[in-house]
Chains A and B, each alone.
Chain A
Amino acid sequence: MSGLRKSFGGVEVLHGVDLTVTGGRVLALLGENGAGKSTAIKVLTGDYRADDGTITVDGEAVDIRSPRVARDLGFRVIYQEFSDAPDLTVAENIALGALPTKGGAVQWRAVRNRAVDVLRQLDVNLDPRQTVGELGVAERQILEIARAMAGSARLLVLDEPTSALSAEEVERLFAFVRRLRDQGVAIVYITHRLDEVDALADDVVVFRDGNVAAAGPAAGFDRAGLIASMIGRQLQEEIAELRATDRHDVNATPALQLDGASLDGVFEGVGLVARAGEITAVFGRVGCGAVELAEAMFGLRSLSAGTIIVQGDRRQPRSPAEAIRRGVGFVPPDRKLQGLLVGLSVADNLSVASWSRLARGGVLRPSVVERVWNRWRDVLSIVARRGARQDVATLSGGNQQKAVLGRWLERDSAVLVLVEPTRGVDVGARAEIYRVLEGLAQRGIAVIAVSSDIEEVIRLADTVHVMLQGHLVATYTRPDIDRGALISAASADSAAAAAPQD
């Protein structure tokens, strides 16, 4: 596609973008949120029509008037959300929408055979009879792609497909994508993650503010160069910068302490201390039990054994409301579903955890709520052009996350527990959130971050606890936090070697 332009309501979001995708190669499409990646893709799929520019397929100009045209051209897009039917089997899902029938009756044998064919052709090892809801996330992702590839696909767009996958699952997905590439499919891979570019991409295109900021073979780029083209500012230094100050202080008061904390079948005998003014990280692969551990600290799960001591109080919090009263704040992993109050204003979102404090006799004055916004907008540098009353849903991912974080500042929480604090946040905003978290620690808050992102942990933590299969297996303290050590401690192989299991 070349010279692509697209405007919404008088605002041009694509300013003449060129993009060339070649069969048998993986093109990584990078860019911050709002750079125009999704808009460009939606032009390809016929969801939007470009205002200007041309799209050629095999040298022939095409007019993608509708999603149907795009489909007939062999364009397929896999979005982050699953579009499968979880209660049906793998085979039914592959045939979905085109069930072979004879006289109105479904030909189950044909459904099976077709699924077996598709799976074999793509070299996918899935049982056609299995219910999709029982599959792992990576398998569902692969099935999703397999469904899309059934029929003649020549262009496959993957939109951040690994955001919910563990490291091993990512490998399986990558292997599958490489096989597709080797079969001659053109692949556009949208991502935020630079390590994935290294692992997968043949070519790279970076979008910034609706323009192509950089393009070329992947071999010609290094990470710093990619980051520089994505954010266009000199932020990369800051991102690469290691933390100058060393806050670790064994004498600081423990704000939250776990003692032999266990949850049947999830984690066991976990002991850790989070001190005021420190950032404590729990690092582990998806499914290691760290998320559930964080939930227990916030009263969302009750321990089967052991204690949680919050600011000297040994009683276990039994509900979020109680945990909040005792000074614990929580930033959940799924911002849209669990963090944001969509439809409510930024000011409401910042103040929600403090409403009962801000109200007088149950009456909550709008001016008081607006003052909360004024109090934190600069501290957190939240960008909301329409001010306190702007619907939080219309903010960018980074600003949304800051609104969720700021809630606990307003509430004066002593302990802040975060789960995957920068998931779905672009590189520039990520650096800002790290700065905010450091600011919180400097204010004397005990920050506990649960993360499966190794870069994040290295960038952020004063102390890292590594969790593997429900156990804390290693603890590192700055400056002795080492990438290699973290990776090997968090992977199952080393655990098997250290302590052979049944």
Chain B
Amino acid sequence: MSGDTSTTPGPTEHRRSLARSFGAVPQESGLVVFLVLLGLWFTLGSEFFLTGNNLRNILLSVSVLGILAAPSTLLLISGNFDLSIGSAAALCGVAFGMVAESHSLGLAILAAVGVGLAAGVGNGLLVAYFGISSLIVTLGTLSVFRGVAQLRSNGQTTRLDTFRWLGSGEVLGVPVQIGLFVIVVVVFGLVMRYTTFGRSVFAIGSSQQAARLAGIRIRPTLFALFVLSGLLAALAGLILSSQLRAASPNTASGLELSVVAAVILGGASLNGGRGTIVGTVLGVLILGTLNNGLTILSISSFWQEVARGLVLILAVGLDQVRLRLRGD
């Protein structure tokens, strides 16, 4: 198009350029503003919100969500879902509890990781090598893993008293699970930006066909994504068991939906190819802050669910408007 910008802007021009500058704002800054406003509102509403202790509580409450959201961000960028992570985490917890009853802690942890690995391999094989839609595969395994967890544990909760460090320990004053959340997120951020694997995921999400024609090996990449997701589900399962001091087949039920909500809130596109780890972290924090603040304001948990849903729709709706203004 022509580069003629010398014309004096009329009123419509102004409106347009305003609209355009809104379009040029990066996604993340909008989320930061939203998070700050949310925090401001809760701070004004209750003296108990903005305290060191409460902020720590928020972080504690979202650590597991964040650990699962990291691989899910990459999966969504590649154009895939893993809805089985909540169930896989529960299954890993149950495996851990069963082995821990009669064997050493180390062996129990190994069992949990093994189960997570197997879950990821199963999902990965079906999606990457058998070509079944990830939505269908993981919707299936969501049910299968949960069912197996119930079967193996007879629906019973196993008490665990010896394994508390992961769920409530601290290192240098930082709770272990918050530390793990930070490490996972940072590692995933680096992988996404600085490795062939990470860049390949973006390429696949942009156009699987184009990525293939450029020599990217689609199947191993997708397979690895599901394996990663399974391994982090194992970590999540271990943290949850340690935190609850019990291995229950019912833990983390519905968690997959919060994870998907956080990732989408963070700006990852359902069509793939687009998403950032910073956005996902902000999405996770917004969900955590919302739950925490509404609880402090003693708003009914039913309303909390309504609010969570509305925030998701609002954020994604605004993002659509932003993209349209940018002319994409």
A residues with a Cβ closer than 8 A to B are 7-13, 15, 34, 36, 51, 209-210, 298, 300, 320-321, 324-325, 330, 332, 337-344, 348, 352-353, 355-356, 359, 362-366, 393, 407, 411
Contact = CB atoms under 8 A, between A and B. Distances in A.
B325 to A, nearest CB: 9
A116 B125 CA distance: 51
Nearest to B200: A355
A15 B216 CA distance: 45
Interface residues on B, range: 35 or more
Nearest to B190: A363
A353 B195 CA distance: 14
B213 A338 contact: yes
Contacts of A325: 215
A11 B215 contact: no
Contact of B202 (A11, A320, A343): A343
B53 interface: no
Interface in B241-285: 273-274
Interface of B: 1-5, 7, 9-10, 12-13, 16-17, 20, 193-197, 199-200, 202-203, 205-207, 209-217, 273-274, 327-328
10 contacts: A7-B16, A11-B2, A34-B1, A51-B10, A210-B2, A325-B215, A337-B209, A341-B214, A364-B199, A365-B194
B196 A364 contact: yes
Nearest to A211: B2
Nearest to A411: B215
Contacts of B203: 341, 344, 348, 352
Contacts of A355: 196, 199-200, 216
A146 B199 CA distance: 45
A12 B4 contact: yes
Contacts of A324: 215
Given A11-B1, A36-B1, A338-B213, 4 more contacts: A338-B209, A344-B199, A363-B194, A364-B196
A331 to B, nearest CB: 9
B5 A362 contact: no
A320 B213 contact: yes
Given A348-B199, A364-B195, A11 B206 contact: no
A325 to B, nearest CB: 8
B217 A321 contact: yes
A300 B274 CA distance: 27
Contact of B327 (A8, A15, A344, A353): A8
A213 B239 CA distance: 70
Contacts of B7: 7, 10, 12
Contact of A11 (B4, B195, B205, B328): B4
A9 B274 CA distance: 25
Given A7-B16, A10-B13, A362-B197, A352 B214 contact: yes
B216 to A, nearest CB: 7
A10 B5 contact: yes
A10 B202 contact: no
Contacts of B194: 363-366
Given A10-B16, A342-B206, A364-B194, A15 B211 contact: no
Nearest to A355: B196
Contacts of B5: 10-11
A298 B213 CA distance: 9
B2 A359 contact: no
A390 to B, nearest CB: 13
Given A210-B1, A320-B215, A9 B17 contact: yes
